[in-house]
């Protein structure tokens, strides 16, 4: 039967061409949407690696083109003291790139012939407690590291796996460095640090230690993160800024809770999904109407075919399933080209950041979804087809 | 083989009642070639459709092979149409988007049968109507007579015991009509297929064993 209907659908391809084309485009857009959606869900289910509850960020602007390192260190120390004098402030840390912020710093290293993309941040000793980072191996930075000869780094498990496999990375140099460069030595491993939040993919990450006193490399960050006592309200912000301004008046300060930053960063990730989702919804609406039109025409213009089949022994169930199957075949032919195209994506490597699992799940969801739409559109017209009276349909006009 | 008892068919609408058939009693034996004649609108097609289980009578009993079938359900009626009956229509009713052989195999789709078997039987049927060289033609590539032969092949592909033909030559010229008539006669004589044919053509009717005359929904001879 399928074979018979396949011939019928194929021979009618000219009249079905438009709807197949619509299905093809709808499928492609739907596929992109589901890939993105599945990708997000997959990412979302993985741990974030830090806690942003009751954490605020302070961006300090020195208002000067250049500032002498010594001067910046002194003023920052004054600010830290001021912050710590609040009962509400439990811990203060510094970092170059804030969680959920737009800037990112990453580097591609060529290691053993492989390209490894790594995200980097420079942070102070206190950050572990501010963001509640989980140490899985080794240790976090500490004050005595100030005297270390090498650059000390803490890496995440992903990077450890990428570079060291099953071996213990502690005490090992991160990469081979060029002559004259300081070696980077791994002192610890953290479970995870997903700076861009739970919708972003996992990345290789490492922290370098920021020194509060280093006037040579001048790694002092101009972003602070403060851990507040639970229950601290938004009103505290004003008190905080006032004291900062009273301490170092010539700088300006921008305070934001990480929870807030998190929310707007999520929106940044969700916007393309929502926009594409709306486009997909419209395309699918178009496809639905098209499909209904096609079967409607099938049922009315082909009434005598239906009558003929009834005369030849088709039951009502046969008629119903035939109309529905034809529809599924049209949908299949429309999707076939789309699937073939989508199959090329992994081969071309344009979706490297998406795992095979996400890719396949999205493919299956898209195909099933289009089939579901086809079935839903087909139910009523297929039922109508069973109402065609063979004697009337076969009547010679 | 076919028994009609007191068949009545009334079409009812809110305002109108059309009696298409009334008091039809008919018995057709196995292997008979019967024609049905009568003026236009007299109820010939209606009668044929009732015999062919495509339509239900509003009164009376239809028996096929000594079994009353008038009260059967759709599934059983469809099965009987599929196995016992073959239809031929004035307008052929071929599916234009299917090649001859794919049109012919249609009744076999509603049986449990492999593709290969279906193909074989469809070819045999086309062979019988002399169209084995046209299996891959689309209906539009065939003459009217050839199209009707394809339709006959479709009607006989499942080897039914009864063929029902509603003005099978109505759309054909006399030479083509003769060809069709010869095929029907051959099927009747060589395979003992019972043939019931509606016709307006006295010449055709005279070639059959018996003529049933219908006038205004009633049997007159
Ligand atoms: N669906 C219907 N509704 C109402 N009346 C109908 C319907 N079908 C047929 N009739 C009526 O039943 C009568 C018999 O119709 P039928 O088609 O059997 O005639 P016929 O003898 O085959 O005529 P023709 O030689 O023109 O084909 C006609 O009067 C027709 O108007
Ligand atoms: Mg008629």
pLDDT digits (tens, 9 = 90+) for A96-123: 999 999 888 998 888 778 888 999 999 9
What is the structure's pLDDT at A247?
93
Residue B118's CATH number: 3.40.50.300
Complex prediction ipTM: 0.95
Torsion angles phi and psi, residue A330, rounded to 5: -60, -45
A284 neighbors A30 (Cβ within 8 angstroms): yes
% chain B with pLDDT above 90? 90
**A170-184, A365-379, B27-41: lowest mean pLDDT where?**
A170-184
Q: pLDDT tens-digit profile of B81-97?
A: 999 999 999 999 999 99
* Residue B215 CA to ligand 2 centre (angstroms): 13
Residue A243: φ, ψ to 5°: -65, -40
Domain assignment of residue B57, given as a range: 2-219
Cβ–Cβ under 8 Å, residues A183 and A230 = no
Closest CA to A309 of A393, A243, A183: A393
Average pLDDT for A337-358: 81
* Residue-range domain boundaries for chain A: 2-46+265-394, 64-250
Q: Which residues of A touch B (CB under 8 A)?
A: 1, 3-4, 7-8, 11-12, 304-305, 307-318, 390-391, 394-396
> Rounded mean pLDDT of chain A?
90
Task: Say whether A255 sits in a helix, a strand or coil.
Answer: strand
The pLDDT value given to residue A112: 76
pLDDT for the residue numbered B81 = 96
CA of B89 to the centre of ligand 2 (A): 10
Q: The pTM is what?
A: 0.83
- State the pLDDT at residue A296: 83
| Among candidates A304, A318, A395 on the partner chain, residue whose Cβ is nearest the Cβ of B110 | A318
Q: Are A35 and A362 in contact (CB under 8 A)?
A: yes
> Residue B84 and residue B67: Cα distance in Å, rounded?
13
Ligand 1 mean position, distance from CA A242 (Å) = 97
Alpha carbon separation from A325 to A108, A320, A331, A379, B106 (Å, rounded): 51, 9, 10, 11, 16
Q: Is the pLDDT of residue A64 over 90?
A: no
- Give residue A56's pLDDT: 97
- Pairwise CB contact (< 8 Å): B82 & A304: no
Question: What is the C-alpha separation between A319 and A385, in angstroms, rounded?
Answer: 7
A102: Cβ contacts below 8 Å, ≥ 6 apart: none
Residues at Cβ < 5 Å from ligand 2 ion:
B 45
Instruction: Indicate if the alpha-carbon torsion angle B208, B210, B213, B219 is positive or negative.
Output: negative
Sign of torsion over alpha carbons A393, A396, B3, B7 = positive
Q: Does B149 touch chain A (CB under 8 A)?
A: no
CA distance A294 to chain B (A): 16
Alpha carbon of B151: minimum distance to chain A alpha carbons (Å): 11
DSSP letter (8 states) at residue A133: -
Q: What is the percentage of chain B residues whose pLDDT exceeds 70?
A: 100
Q: Are the C-beta atoms of A394 and A304 separated by less than 8 Å? A: yes
pLDDT of A397 reads 55
Which one, of B85, B58, B95, B61, lies nearest residue B166 by Cα?
A: B85
For residue A174, give Cα distances in angstroms to A135, A187, A273, A282, B184. Answer: 18, 10, 37, 50, 92
**Which residues from B are below 8 Å from A314, CB to CB?**
78, 82, 109-110
Q: Would you say residue A237 has pLDDT above 90? A: yes
Mutation test of ligand 1: which of B14, B37, B44, B215 has the most ligand atoms closer than 8 Å to its C-beta?
B44
Residue A308 in tokens:
């003929």
Supply φ then ψ for residue B115, to 5 degrees: -55, -45
Of A392, A394, A397, the residue with max ligand 1 atoms within 8 A of its CB, to mutate for a pocket test, comes to: A392
Place of tokens 């991160």: A174
The CA-atom distances, in angstroms, between A193 and each of A17, A116, A154 are 50, 17, 11
Higher pLDDT among residues A341 and B107, named by residue: B107
Distance B38 CA to ligand 2 centre (A): 10
How many angstroms separate the first and last alpha carbons of chain B? 20
Residues within 6 Å of ligand 1 by CB: A 392; B 11, 18, 20, 38, 40-46
From residue A329, how far is each of A13, A371, B42 by CA, in Å? Answer: 11, 10, 44
Which phi and psi (to 5°) does residue A162 adopt?
A: -60, -45
Residue bearing the CA closest to ligand 1, atom 26: B40
pLDDT tens, position by position, A291-326 = 888 888 878 888 989 999 999 999 999 999 999 999
With CB atoms and an 8 Å threshold, state whether B82 touches A313.
Answer: yes
**41-100 of B, contacting A, C-beta below 8 A:** 45-46, 49, 52, 54-55, 74-75, 78-79, 81-83, 87, 89-91, 93, 95, 97-99
Task: Say how many domains are in chain B.
Answer: 1
Average pLDDT rounded to a whole number, residues A393-397:
72
Q: What is the pLDDT of residue B29?
A: 95
Tell me which residue in A309, A311, A396 faces B90 most closely, judged by beta carbons.
Answer: A396
Contact B137, B172 (CB under 8 A): no
Would you call A312 and B75 a contact, using CB atoms and an 8 Å cutoff? no
What is A164-220 written as a DSSP string?
Answer: HTTS--TTSBSS---TTSPPEEEEEEES---TT-TTSPP-EEEEEEPPSS-SSS---
Q: Are A94 and A221 within 8 A, CB to CB?
A: yes
- Nearest-CA residue for ligand 1 atom 10 is B20
What's the pLDDT at A396? Answer: 56
Distances (CA, A) of A50 to A45, A46, A135, A193, B83: 14, 12, 11, 6, 73
Contact A8 B74 (CB under 8 A): no
Q: Are residues A315 and B74, on separate chains, in Cβ contact within 8 Å?
A: yes
CA angle A100, A102, A108 (to 5 degrees): 100
Instruction: Tell whether the model's pLDDT for residue B1 goes beyond 90.
Output: no
Residue A271 in this model has a pLDDT that exceeds 90: yes
- Say what the pLDDT of residue A182 is: 83
Cβ-nearest to B78 among A8, A304, A313: A313
Say whether B158 and A305 touch across the interface (CB within 8 A). no
* pLDDT of A164: 92
What is the token pair recorded at B196?
A: 């019931």
Residues of chain A with Cβ-Cβ distance to B74 below 8 Å are 315-316
**In this structure, how many other beta carbons lie within 10 angstroms of the beta carbon of residue A18?**
12
Would strands B59-64 and B218-219 be described as parallel, antiparallel, or unpaired? unpaired
Strand partners, B210: B34
Among A2-6, A60-64, A335-339, the least confident range: A60-64
Question: Could you report the per-residue pLDDT of A130-185, keeping only the tens digit for each?
Answer: 999 999 999 999 989 888 888 899 999 999 999 999 999 999 998 887 787 888 99
Q: Tell which residue, A282, A63, A390, A103, has the closest CA to residue B78.
A: A390
| Cα-to-centroid distance, A120 and ligand 2 (Å) | 86
The larger pLDDT score, comparing residue B118 to residue A212, is at: B118
Instruction: Answer whether residue B140 shows pLDDT above 60.
Output: yes
Instruction: Give one DSSP letter per residue of chain B, joined into a string.
Output: -EEEEEEEEEEE-SS-EEEEEEEEEEEE-TT-EEEEE--TTSSHHHHHHHHTTSS--SEEEEEETTEE-TT--HHHHHHHHHHHEEEEETT----TTS-HHHHHTHHHHTSS--HHHHHHHHHHHHHHTT-GGGTT--GGGS-HHHHHHHHHHHHHTT--SEEEEESTTTTS-HHHHHHHHHHHHHHHHHH--EEEEE-S-HHHHHTSSEEEEEETTEE--
Average pLDDT over residues A4-18: 89
């Amino acid at each position: 039967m399928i074979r018979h209907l396949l011939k019928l659908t194929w021979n009618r391809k000219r009249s079905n061409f438009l709807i197949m084309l619509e299905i093809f485009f709808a499928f492609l857009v739907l596929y992109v949407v589901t890939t993105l959606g599945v990708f997000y869900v997959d990412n979302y289910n993985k741990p974030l690696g830090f806690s942003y509850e009751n954490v605020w960020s302070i961006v300090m602007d020195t208002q000067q083109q250049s500032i002498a390192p010594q001067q910046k260190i002194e003023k920052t120390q004054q600010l830290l003291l001021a912050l710590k004098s609040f009962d509400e402030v439990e811990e203060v840390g510094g970092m170059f790139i804030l969680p959920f912020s737009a800037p990112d710093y990453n580097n591609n290293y060529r290691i053993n012939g492989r390209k490894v993309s790594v995200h980097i941040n420079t942070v102070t000793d206190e950050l572990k407690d501010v963001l509640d980072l989980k140490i899985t191996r080794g240790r976090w930075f500490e004050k005595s590291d100030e005297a270390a000869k090498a650059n000390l780094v803490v890496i995440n498990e992903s990077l450890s796996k990428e570079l060291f496999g099953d071996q213990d990375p502690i005490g090992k140099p991160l990469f081979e460095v060029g002559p004259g460069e300081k070696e980077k030595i791994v002192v610890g491993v953290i479970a995870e640090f997903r700076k861009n939040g739970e919708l972003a993919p996992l990345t290789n990450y490492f922290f370098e230690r920021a020194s509060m006193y280093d006037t040579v490399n001048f790694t002092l960050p101009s972003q602070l993160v403060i851990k507040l006592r639970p229950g601290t309200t938004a009103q505290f912000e004003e008190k905080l800024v006032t004291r900062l301004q009273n301490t170092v008046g010539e700088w300006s300060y921008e305070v934001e809770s990480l929870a807030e930053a998190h929310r707007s960063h999520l929106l940044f990730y969700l916007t393309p999904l929502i926009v594409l989702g709306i486009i997909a919804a419209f395309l699918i609406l178009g496809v639905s109407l098209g499909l209904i039109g096609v079967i409607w025409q099938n049922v009315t213009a082909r009434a005598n075919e239906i009558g003929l089949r009834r005369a030849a022994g088709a039951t009502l169930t046969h008629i119903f399933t035939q109309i529905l199957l034809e529809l599924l075949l049209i949908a299949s032919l429309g999707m076939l080209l789309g699937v073939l195209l989508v199959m090329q994506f992994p081969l071309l490597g344009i979706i490297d950041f998406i795992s095979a699992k996400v890719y396949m799940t999205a493919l299956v969801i898209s195909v099933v979804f289009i089939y579901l739409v086809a079935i839903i559109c087909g139910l009523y017209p297929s039922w109508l087809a069973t109402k065609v009276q063979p004697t009337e349909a076969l009547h010679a006009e | 083989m076919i028994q009609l008892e007191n068949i009545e068919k009334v079409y009812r609408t809110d305002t109108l009642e059309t009696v298409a058939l009334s008091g039809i009693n008919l018995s057709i034996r196995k292997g008979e070639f019967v024609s049905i004649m009568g003026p236009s609108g007299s109820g010939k097609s209606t009668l044929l459709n009732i015999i062919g289980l495509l339509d239900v009578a509003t009164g009376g009993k239809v028996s096929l092979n000594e079994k009353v079938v008038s009260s059967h359900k759709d599934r059983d009626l469809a099965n009987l149409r599929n196995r016992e009956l073959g239809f031929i229509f004035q307008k052929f009713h071929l599916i234009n988007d299917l090649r001859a052989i794919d049109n012919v195999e249609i009744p076999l789709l509603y049986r449990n049968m492999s593709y290969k078997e279906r193909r074989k039987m469809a070819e045999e049927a086309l062979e019988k109507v002399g169209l084995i060289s046209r299996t891959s033609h689309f209906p539009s590539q065939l003459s009217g007579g050839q199209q009707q032969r394809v339709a006959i092949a479709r009607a006989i592909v499942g080897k039914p015991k009864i063929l029902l033909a509603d003005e099978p030559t109505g759309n054909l010229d006399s030479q083509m009509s003769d060809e069709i008539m010869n095929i029907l006669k051959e099927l009747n004589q060589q395979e003992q297929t019972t043939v019931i044919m509606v016709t307006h053509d006295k010449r055709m009717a005279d070639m059959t064993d018996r003529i049933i005359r219908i006038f205004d929904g009633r049997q007159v001879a």
